[in-house]
Amino acid sequence: MQSLTRCSMPSSAKRSRVAYLQRASGARVSATYFMTPAVLSSRCASRASARSLNIFLPPQSQYSARCLDKSPTRNWLVALHQDLSIPVRERITHPDCTGWSEKEGVLFVQPPLSVLESLVAVRVHLDECGPGAGPLRVVPGSHRQGRLSDSEARHQRQTNGEFECFAKRGDALLMRPLLLHASSRATAPSRRRVLHFLFGPAQLPHALRWDNAV
């Protein structure tokens, strides 16, 4: 794992991105975990989050958002996987657009690899997330391997190990959706709410259009 890094003061334009996250979450964005090109953990001030978004996001980007709410009454585990699908407005017939599915009335597709490689997920923690809260676990460097089969994913985990992502209330975590990740059921009687923002290019290939992107 690479050494920890510190970030310099960003411009007001960069700060505006993290200001949105703060308004949406009602919590101060106080720390960032950088997960590309390799897993880094950094305890930076909130201004570092804005600088990081500016580095990883395309110049013209859009996002979709959802809330993940894990609690004693809503508890689940997530097996090791990559996030390969994006929400889109309508179905397009093209050989590069595969894995069509629908979830809660929203249409999803697996776009070309070039799109997946450009995406950035920002997870804003509304609650503290420690060892007993079912924290995210990631496999360092796995996002650089493209789409992985189940056997390739297991090999990546055996080779590179896993990193647990603990967070305090208001922390933000940045990751590439191609990064292998998983989480266990929570064992502590606590709540773990996360606002999950997916940022990507405003213009998608093959006439694909984001569903309800901002």
**What pLDDT digit, counting tens, does each position of 33-71 carry?**
333 333 333 332 233 444 555 555 555 556 677 788 887
DSSP secondary structure code for residue 127 in this structure: S
Q: What string of pLDDT tens digits covers the 214 residues of the chain?
A: 332 222 323 344 334 444 444 444 444 444 433 333 333 333 322 334 445 555 555 555 566 777 888 877 787 789 999 999 999 999 999 999 999 999 989 999 999 999 999 999 999 999 999 998 889 999 999 999 999 999 999 999 999 999 999 999 999 999 999 999 999 888 887 888 899 989 899 899 999 999 976 6
Angle at 62 between CA 58 and CA 65, to 5 degrees: 125
* 210/214 Cα distance (integer angstroms): 9
Q: For residue 188, give the nearest of 125, 126, 135 by alpha carbon.
A: 135
Cis amide leading into 37 (omega within 30): yes
Full set of structural domains in the chain with CATH: 12-201 (2.60.120)
Provide the whole-model pTM. 0.73
Q: For residue 96, give the nearest of 207, 206, 18 by alpha carbon.
A: 206
The structure tokens 């920002």 sit at 122
CA atoms within 13 A on the CB side of 128: 7
| Residue 17, amino acid | R
DSSP-H helix ranges across 26-62: 46-56
* 165/75 Cα distance (integer angstroms): 18
Q: Are 18 and 5 in contact (CB under 8 A)?
A: no
